[in-house]
Amino acid sequence: MTAPPPVYVPLVTPYTASGAVAYDALEALARGLLAEGAAGLFALGTTGEPESLEPDERAAVAELVGRVCREAGAYFAVGVGGGRDLGPWPVEPDALLATVPAFVRPGEAGVVAHFTALAARARLPLIVYHVPYRTAQPLSARALRTLAAIPGVTGVKYAVGGIDADTVDLLGDRPAGFDVLAGDDVFAPALLALGATGVVAASAHLDTAAWVRLAATGDRALGHRLAARAAALFREPNPTVIKAALHAEGRIPTADVRLPLLPARPESLAAVAAVAAVGAVDALPPGVRPAVRLGT
């Protein structure tokens, strides 16, 4: 039986009341997500506020998350922003998540040249993080196929803020061995239905088992519920509302974020509560287990 698309969680970075990184809470959160069925974890992605962490904090977070993943036999990726810091890492990741260059808008040819050079320097597989509403750099399906042909580029975290003709084009003729990971939580159920090979969902901090079941079964009603929940969790800049929800559940010690982010407003947390929690889900069908490795 073919393994269902894996669900990966890009971890928040919890803080103590004094503002330090709450490493104990981070470890407990990481272990809990894997126990709920997440196939792996992404450290130092946008959800983890990497630009607000000191270099020693980033290294410690990556080491902790990597250790937890290795002990659990789970997938482990590290966000490297535009690719300035490619390691080495205390625990070697399975892949590096590198963002399409932001602000400079180099054009598709410039993006391809950038990732060609990056892949030549990196010792590890690269996942392209394509999020044009943050980077201001659109990419066509043709450009993404060109990126897929670069040795060492193994996938894309696809977060374009919707579903357009390029989305349908790419997923309708996905390059062999190139993973397309749904990276925009509200649209992730639809992308799975179109053929995405996995999910990287910050909202899967909550309702983790339900996300795993969605990937395994394609349950349309469940997908609608998870999309509605995700919309509530993204009412304010990520990860502010997710942290507020995790704190309300007692899973992290504070809901704090670091500047330039501000804590979520009470009404945003109330909006999450107003969307009925998905709650417990039935066990996956016999013999069906989420995949742990990319490259399907």
277 — pLDDT class (breaks 50, 70, 90): low
Question: Dihedral sign, CA of 131, 202, 126, 103?
Answer: positive
Known catalytic residue: 157? yes
Q: Is the pLDDT of residue 278 over 90?
A: no
Bridge partners (DSSP) listed for residue 128:
98, 156
Non-local (6+) Cβ contacts of 293 within 8 A are 75, 94
In angstroms, rounded to a whole number, what is the distance separating the alpha carbons of residues 18 and 215? 39
- pLDDT tens, 206-261? 999 999 999 999 999 999 999 999 999 999 999 999 999 999 999 999 999 999 99
| Helices and strands of the chain, counted as H and E runs | 11, 8
Q: What is the CA radius of gyration of the chain?
A: 18
Concatenating the DSSP letter of every residue in 2-57 gives PPPPPEEEE----B-TTSSB-HHHHHHHHHHHHHTT--EEEESSGGG-GGGS-HHH
**Looking at 129, 133, 158, 243, which residue is catalytic?**
129
Known catalytic residue: 133? no
Q: Exposed, middle or buried: residue 266 (CB in 10 Å: 0-12, 13-18, 19+)?
A: exposed
Q: Is the pLDDT of residue 294 over 90?
A: no
In angstroms, rounded to a whole number, what is the distance separating the alpha carbons of residues 91 and 274? 40
Is pTM, for the whole model, over 0.85?
yes
Residue 120 in tokens: 């030549």
Residue 199 in tokens: 């999910």
Phi/psi of residue 170, nearest 5 degrees: -60, -50
Q: Which of 175, 137, 161, 196 is nearest to 8 (CA)?
A: 196
User: Mapping DSSP to helix (H, G, I), strand (E, B) and coil, where does residue 77 land?
Assistant: strand
- pLDDT tens, 61-119? 999 999 999 999 999 999 999 887 888 899 999 999 999 999 999 999 999 999 999 99
Domain range summary for the chain, segments of one domain joined by +: 7-219
In angstroms, rounded to a whole number, what is the distance separating the alpha carbons of residues 274 and 54? 36
3 — pLDDT class (breaks 50, 70, 90): confident
What is the separation, in whole angstroms, between the first and last Cα of the chain?
14
Q: Which fold has domain 7-219?
A: TIM Barrel (3.20.20)
